[in-house]
Amino acid sequence: MARTNFEQLLEAGCHFGHLKRKWNPAMAPYIFMERNGIHIIDLNKTVVKIDEAAEALKAIAKSGRKILFVSTKKQGKDAVANKAQEIGMPYITERWAGGMLTNFPTIRKAVKKMGSIDKMMNDGTFDNISKREKLQIVRQREKLEKNLGSIADLTRLPSAIFVVDVMKEHIAVSEAQRLGIPVFAIVDTNSNPNNIDFVIPANDDASSSIEVILGAVCEAIKEGLEERKVEKADENAAAAQAEGEGEAPAPKERRQRVRKTKAAEVEKVAEAKPEAKEEAPAEEAATEAKDAE
């Protein structure tokens, strides 16, 4: 069953593209018609593409990996922040710092710096410095929180990124391509879809359009996370059951092992005794021969 339908997308205004003179010819397969100088997007294809992207994102979430949401444009900031927080995924709604993916270790150092400032505030070190230094540190902390606070839990590179407006976030897209990270994106008629792994042709300038698509995608991710929890619970239960069954016969197995080792030792002793008896007469014969000489 489709996660969205034609009427829902139509009401949200997902079908409105850009002016004809601003179009990208690569988007021609996703354009239905032109009306009053504006391209109209084929919503039937949008529905299919949303389902494809949702299934792929669900599989990534089910495997326990992270998906980074990126939208620094005004229309998508709030929607992305709210939806990403609901499912516990990292997101960027402020300026995209160059090298956020390609120079990830440096970004992690900045995030750790934020943690060290918090530690200073809690352990009393903050009270022993001057007011000027306090003010500088507080401002630095606020700036870091604004730009990187939403990715504080991102300890490694994300397995995928979801982008709203490919043209505005072209740096994020190019960094992801360079690292081989799959890119999911809402692509309007003025953008190039060739560099995107999972294209969702839709209006990326209307907040209602962005919310509808994000809602469908985040619902799929939520399902993947829930399935992962269920699988983990089943695995833990199976492991506990296996341990319980394995502990019960353990004393019996130990007794059997002890009996086997004892029997083996007895056999060795029994085999060694006849050899000793055979060696004794041979020695006696040797001594008698010497005496006769």
User: Considering all CA atoms of the chain, what is the largest pairwise distance in Å, rounded to the nearest integer?
Assistant: 134
Say whether both 91 and 21 belong to one domain: yes
Say whether both 166 and 41 belong to one domain: yes
The tokens describing 206, both together, are 């209307």
Phi and psi (nearest 5°) for 145? -65, -40
Residue 152 sits in a domain whose CATH number is: 1.10.287.610
Cβ-contact 218, 206 below 8 angstroms: no
Confidence of residue 238 (pLDDT cuts 50, 70, 90): confident
Task: Kindly state the percentage of the chain with pLDDT values over 90.
Answer: 48
| Predicted local distance difference test score (pLDDT) of residue 239 | 83
Q: Assess whether pLDDT exceeds 70 at residue 259.
A: no
Say whether both 91 and 12 belong to one domain: yes
Cβ-contact 163, 189 below 8 angstroms: no
Query: What is the count of structural domains for the chain?
Result: 3
Cβ-contact 141, 110 below 8 angstroms: no
| Predicted local distance difference test score (pLDDT) of residue 269 | 47
Say whether both 39 and 90 belong to one domain: yes
Q: In DSSP terms, which residues pair with 186 in a beta bridge? A: 164, 200
DSSP of 85-151: HHHT--EE-S---TTTTTTHHHHHHHHHHHHHHHHHHHHTGGGGS-HHHHHHHHHHHHHHHHHHGGG
Domain range for residue 132? 102-156
Q: Assess whether pLDDT exceeds 70 at residue 258.
A: no
Across 120-124, 166-170, 174-178, least confident range: 120-124
Q: Assess whether pLDDT exceeds 80 at residue 245.
A: no
Q: pLDDT tens across 200-210, in order? A: 999 999 999 99
pLDDT (mean) for 6-16: 90
| Predicted local distance difference test score (pLDDT) of residue 126 | 78
Q: Is residue 89 part of a domain?
A: yes
Q: Assess whether pLDDT exceeds 50 at residue 280.
A: no
Domain edge (last residue) among 229, 264, 279: 229
Nearest to 156 by CA among 78, 65, 57: 65
